[in-house]
């Protein structure tokens, strides 16, 4: 599975301590703890599932951030009407929209990411024992 962080996090998030590297490391640790293989983009086989993670948001008034976290699993799928046709489709997704204090936003979002990854791992392992 490839972990793909969509878009760079904003400068405001970076200043608050939330970086792409921190997000990627947190996600990869959760996957590795569950014994789910993580592949890097340069070694990507064409049938590899992609875990797409997007964190977006903005600083609102200097004291709060609004944010959107979306996590989707994209996998190779086949059309029922014509199984010879292969497509990449989102087969699992979760997201959250919220507000958090600027002083603790990085930890709050990492908490949401960890919770979302726990939910993902449970769902993934239930169909991939």
Closest CA to 119 of 20, 51, 37: 51
How many CA atoms are closer than 13 Å to the CA of 4, on its beta-carbon side? 15
Q: Which CATH architecture has domain 2-127?
A: 2-Layer Sandwich (3.30)
Can you read off the two tokens belonging to residue 94? 């979760």
The domain ranges of the chain are 2-127
Give the CA diameter of the chain.
Answer: 53
Q: What is the DSSP string of 17-70?
A: T--HHHHHHHHHHHHHHTT-----GGG--TT--EEEEEEEEEE-SSSEEEEEEE
Q: pTM for the complete prediction?
A: 0.84
Q: What is the pLDDT of residues 34-61, one digit of tens each?
A: 999 888 766 677 778 889 899 999 998 8
In contact, 68 and 56? CB cutoff 8 Å = yes
Q: What is the pLDDT of residues 60-116, one digit of tens each?
A: 888 899 999 999 999 999 999 999 999 989 999 999 999 999 999 999 999 999 999
At 92, give phi and psi (nearest 5°): -155, 140
């Amino acid at each position: 599975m490839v972990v793909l962080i969509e878009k760079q996090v904003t400068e405001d998030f970076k200043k608050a301590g939330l970086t792409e590297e921190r997000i990627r490391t947190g996600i990869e640790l959760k996957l590795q703890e569950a014994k789910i293989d993580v592949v890097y983009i340069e070694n990507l086989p064409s049938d590899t599932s992609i875990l797409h993670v997007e964190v977006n948001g903005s600083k609102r008034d200097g004291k709060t951030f609004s944010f959107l976290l979306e996590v989707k699993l994209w996998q190779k799928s086949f059309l029922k009407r014509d199984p010879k046709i292969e497509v990449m489709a989102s087969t699992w997704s979760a997201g959250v929209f919220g507000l958090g204090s600027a002083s603790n936003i990085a930890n709050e979002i990492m908490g949401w990411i960890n919770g979302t990854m726990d939910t993902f791992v449970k769902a993934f392992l239930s169909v991939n024992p």
